């Protein structure tokens, strides 16, 4: 565990955080625990760079977006600061910067993760930012900080009081990750902050690790991606790429193929498949829903007892319908809550 100011003597000058006793640490070092991302070739990634490059140009461009990334630790500091060095910033007109570029923070309280605050990025952000949030002093805090959904992070340093303790966080109750593969919705567009993406909601509910393999506009179940997915060690697999299949025919040619490849590699793995989370469907979208459901029905007919189908229309529900989206496609926090509710009902059955 290194004090970053001893590595870079100019570091304190570069920050604008008004704490006289601040000490920075690199999250790549113990006792910090990183989840959902790993460092490779100078920045954090969600899958190996060479595999991403082999899949497609889109996956390669997006695989270093840090959706689903988390750092966990315990401290009794009365504040927590971040110094983030970033690139490939996700600036979009329909997506809050706090979700696409920002970090948010949770604290474990009475067995539940409670939202504390968001490290809001400045509107004119170019290559990273500093932010600090105060905490209640004189007590230990079990902290999770979620990484941005649509930006690349090269380095993250955590600042705490130099007199404060810094300890490792407990493991997740379920350390083997839930793997989510899918579209921009899977990646987290357009949650107002990282912790509002449906996978993060479920991770807190079930105290389970997860890896977000959502690739905006680029989840097309290519052969290279199928080979990568089937070899991952996972507790549950969630399959949701309807939106990114270029045509219904493409979906029909790849969906069951992907399912069968993962099933062959993991005979007892619970697999959840869903159609696009949308209430009012066009005729093409109805056809796509039927294709996904057919994969499920064929599996059940073959005797598979660990496969589950979620109708995307039912995911939004009669109580939400189209009001849970930004643009009739990407969910708001309300839409992600509805998705977490639907997927969570199945995960409850699986995990119990």
pLDDT tens string 147-174: 999 999 999 999 999 999 999 999 999 9
31 prior amide bond cis, ω within 30: yes
pLDDT in tens, the chain (352 residues): 545 455 444 444 356 788 999 999 999 999 999 999 999 999 999 999 999 999 999 999 999 999 999 999 999 999 999 999 999 999 999 999 999 999 999 999 999 999 999 999 999 999 999 999 999 988 999 999 999 999 999 999 999 999 999 999 999 999 999 999 999 999 999 999 999 999 999 999 999 999 999 999 999 999 999 999 999 999 999 999 999 999 999 999 999 999 999 999 999 999 999 999 999 999 999 999 999 999 999 999 999 999 999 999 888 878 888 888 898 889 999 999 999 999 999 999 999 8
| Measured distance CA(79)–CA(136) in Å, rounded | 8
**Residues linked to residue 174 through DSSP beta bridges, in sequence order:** 208
| Measured distance CA(65)–CA(44) in Å, rounded | 8
Phi, psi of 254 (to 5 degrees): -120, -25
| Measured distance CA(336)–CA(223) in Å, rounded | 29
| Measured distance CA(158)–CA(83) in Å, rounded | 7
Q: Which two tokens stand for residue 57?
A: 């140009």
Q: Which two tokens stand for residue 45?
A: 């990634």
Given the structure tokens 């923070």, which residue do they identify? Answer: 105
| Measured distance CA(230)–CA(44) in Å, rounded | 22
Could you report the per-residue pLDDT of 39-48, keeping only the tens digit for each?
A: 999 999 999 9
pLDDT at 15: 61
| Measured distance CA(289)–CA(299) in Å, rounded | 16
């Amino acid at each position: 565990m290194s004090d970053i100011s001893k590595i870079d003597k100019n570091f304190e000058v570069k920050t604008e955080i008004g704490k006289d006793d601040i000490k920075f640490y690199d999250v790549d070092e113990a006792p910090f625990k990183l989840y959902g991302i790993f460092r490779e070739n100078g920045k954090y990634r969600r899958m190996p760079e060479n595999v991403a490059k082999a899949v497609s140009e889109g996956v390669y461009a997006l695989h270093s977006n840090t959706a689903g990334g988390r750092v966990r630790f315990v401290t009794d500091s009365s504040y927590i600061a971040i110094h983030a060095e970033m690139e490939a910033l996700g600036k979009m007109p329909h997506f809050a910067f706090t979700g696409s570029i920002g970090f948010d923070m949770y604290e474990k309280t009475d067995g539940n993760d409670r939202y504390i605050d968001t490290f809001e990025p400045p509107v004119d952000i170019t290559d990273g930012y500093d932010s600090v949030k105060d905490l209640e002093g004189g007590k230990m805090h079990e902290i999770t900080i979620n990484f941005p959904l649509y930006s690349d992070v090269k380095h993250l340093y955590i600042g705490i009081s130099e007199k404060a303790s810094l300890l490792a966080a407990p493991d997740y109750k379920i350390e083997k990750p839930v793997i989510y593969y899918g579209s921009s919705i899977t990646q987290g567009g357009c949650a107002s902050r990282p912790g509002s993406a449906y996978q993060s909601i479920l991770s807190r509910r079930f105290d389970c690790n997860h890896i977000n393999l959502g690739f905006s506009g680029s989840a097309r179940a290519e052969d290279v991606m199928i080979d990568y997915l089937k070899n991952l060690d996972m507790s549950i697999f969630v399959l949701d790429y309807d939106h990114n299949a270029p045509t219904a025919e493409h979906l029909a040619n790849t969906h069951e193929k992907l399912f069968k490849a993962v099933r062959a590699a993991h005979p007892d793995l619970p697999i959840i498949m869903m159609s696009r989370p949308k209430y009012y469907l066009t005729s093409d979208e109805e056809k796509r829903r039927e294709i996904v459901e057919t994969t499920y029905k064929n599996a059940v007919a073959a005797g598979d007892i660990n496969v589950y189908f979620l109708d995307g229309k039912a995911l939004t529900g009669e109580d939400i319908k189209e009001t849970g989206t930004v643009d009739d496609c990407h969910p708001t926090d309300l839409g992600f809550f509805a998705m977490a509710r639907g997927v969570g009902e199945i995960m409850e059955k699986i995990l119990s």
